[in-house]
Structure 1
Amino acid sequence: MTPYRDGQPQARLTRANLDAVLAEIGRRLGLDTRDAQLIKFTNNAVFRVAHASIVVRIAGSATMRQRVPKIVQVARWLAEHDVPSVRLLPGVPQPLDIDGHLATVWQAVPETGPKPSGRALALILKRFHALPPPSFQLPRWNPLEEIRQRLAEPDGIAPSDLVFLRDRCDGIEEKLGKLRYFLPSGPIHGDPFLGNVIGGPGGAVICDFDSTSTGPREWDLVPVAVGKLRFDYARDTHGELVTHYGVDVTKWSGFETLRQVRELKLVTSVVPILRSNPAVRDQWAYRLETFRRGDMTAKWSTYV
């Protein structure tokens, strides 16, 4: 493993050094990780080590590394309140620092329960939104700052595309500052959609606390609503969420602005790893093209 280049820490996570980072994690935990399965490589690289019943998440960029300590705090806070959520692997100092790459290790949740639904997500969100504030300070919700951080570390994106995306951030920020919310603000998950819900043997649990913050609860209802508009999902998850949470965010006058924020996040999510993971490039290019021309009906696909 070569964590340095030209005398400087090699901070970018690539397919070339991914296996070496994982192997070092295995060495520290006393685990054989040679059969680990890479199940996702977008904002983070996520591995499942089946024989050990663990999941390893390695932050994929500088932006994501900044969030890892908070992720650990949020996971422990949710566990204290018995919220249906994934749990850190006990007995391991978290996070792990592997030559500047930050990783977290989780107890794997067997996907043997019912397939997650909008109802299950709604019930989890209601519990999440009813929690008292944590003892630590959550960051304030600032989705455009998050997007700008991604754009500050591009990996194989044309300068003209960067200019467009930064200009779009500025335009949306002005609209965002004028919104008046109708739900009370407080701790929010930040990215709740069925892709972040696992159907475990004891019921559905939520994962991925990268975007957890303090902000408007309306935002936690937007991902599923946008998912209905942008993706060809067979199930009406949004309708189920509305029924069981009790709010239809699409009926609110501010929804279109939050939709633009969400879609900009979906367009920019892989900007820091475009060259490192070329499998996502075609879908990213299609998202960017349709977003740029204002095509609100184009259907996107999930990243593989």
Structure 2
Amino acid sequence: MAVAGNGLFTRDKLAEALASVCAAAGLDPDGAELLRMTNNAVFRLARQPVVVRIVASRALRHRVAKVVRVATWFAGHDVPAVRLLPGVVQPVRVGGHLATVWEMVPAGGVKPRGRDLARLLRRVHALPAPPFPLPTWEPLDDVRRRLDEADGLDDADREFLLGRCDEMASRIDDLDFALPPGLIHGDAHLGNLIPSPSGPVLCDFDSTCVGPPEWDLAPLAVGVVRFGEPAGRYRELSRTYGLDVTRWPGFPVLREVRELKLITSVLPIMTSHPEVRPELMRRLDDFRRGDTSSRWSRYT
């Protein structure tokens, strides 16, 4: 398999992977648009209302079967979320590639707001335990996996990040959460809400697990500081959900863990997509220096 961690998942290789997946699923890849490329390469097909999501990180392939189960569970409970394309055995495995195939969300609707995210999170958090096993919240697991797979990161930076993971793991163990654990989305930010004519829908279930609901409230709070998102979006989230996680004593720990994930999310593709490196190194430098107020730019 051509994997990003080896610097081989170039755009040409991605096109080959997409063609293979589409052939297996009976789809047409011609004219497909690459929407996003971090841990997954997400394509919107031009000739069918379908989105194809190809795993771009070898270290995170283990999550795909869970994504399929969670998406099916959400559909069974009528949770507003993206739906798997019916009639296709999922995940799609072909030529060493692993992918999921989704119905495209109809265009239209208004831009999602903090209150929309809060309402969807309350709905997810209220679901009963699913009839299949879910992993327990281990927010640093994917960070360590990305570090193992990273190509182009020097030893000093790697050792610093691994050391910080060890430090944060100890601090996580000491947290006293205010809410009981349950099903959580795991990466709950406004970028994982898609507008539709009938209202916003959730997407991206890679990080879904059993864990503290507080974790689902942290990404938007961190986004206000690091990405300059309007503070009103977070206030709307906390007011609608009924908890301001930034006032909880454990929030600084959640913030640092979230920032570690934001820094390392592109490590598997750093060589094949060198344009992400300047922002990655800027984030890492801020984190190393303890600069908690510097603004970051989104990876493109």
Fold shared, TM-score > 0.5 on shorter chain? yes
Runs ≥4 in structure 1, deviation > 3 angstroms? 10-14
Q: Distance in 1 between matches of 2:70 and 2:217?
A: 20
Q: Which residue, 95, 98, 104 being the options, matches 2:94?
A: 98
RMSD: 1.6
Query: What's 2:128 paired with?
Result: 132
The whole-number CA distance in structure 1 between the counterparts of 2:97 and 2:221 is: 34
**Cα distance between partner residues in 2 of 1:100 and 1:285:** 31
TM-score calculated relative to the size of structure 1: 0.95
Structure-1 separation of matches of 2:220 and 2:126: 20
Confirm whether residue 36 of structure 1 aligns to residue 32 of structure 2.
Answer: yes
Alignment of 1:114 with 2:89, yes or no, is no
Q: TM-score, normalised by structure 2?
A: 0.96
| Higher mean C-alpha deviation, range 229-238 or range 21-30 | 229-238
Q: Is the 8 A contact 2:125 2:184 kept in 1?
A: yes
Pick aligned residue for 2:72 from 70, 73, 76? 76
1:244 to 240, 252, 267: 240
State the alpha-carbon separation in 2 of the partners of residues 272 and 4 from structure 1.
12
Question: C-alpha separation between the residues in 2 aligned to 1:19 and 1:239?
Answer: 42
Distance in 1 (alpha carbons) for counterparts of 2:194 and 2:268: 26
Aligned residues: 298
Counterpart residue type for residue 287 of structure 1: R
* Equivalent residues of 1:155, 1:276 under 8 A apart: no
2:49 equivalent among 28, 31, 53 = 53
Decide whether the 8 Å contact of 2:28 with 2:47 is kept in 1: no
Relative distance call for 1:181 and 1:235 in structure 2 (3 A) is closer
Does the 8 Å CA contact 2:109/2:198 hold for their aligned counterparts?
Answer: yes
Q: Which moved more, 1:66-75 or 1:277-286?
A: 277-286
Q: Which runs of 5+ in 1 are unaligned?
A: none
Contact 2:81/2:201 (8 A) holds in 1: yes
Which deviates more from structure 2 when the two are superposed, residues 87-96 or residues 276-285? 276-285
Shift, 1:11, TM fit: 10
User: Which residue of 254, 258, 262 corresponds with 1:262?
Assistant: 258
Contact 1:37–1:49 (Cα < 8 Å) also in 2? yes
Q: Percent identity?
A: 52
| Distance of aligned partners of 1:285 and 1:216 in 2 relative to their CA distance in 1, 3 Å threshold | same
- The correspondence for 1:290, drawn from 273, 283, 286, is 286
1:219 is aligned to 215
Which consecutive unaligned segments of at least 5 residues does structure 2 have?
none
Cα distance, 1:156 vs structure 2: 1.4
**Counterpart Cα distance in 1 of 2:243 and 2:211:** 17
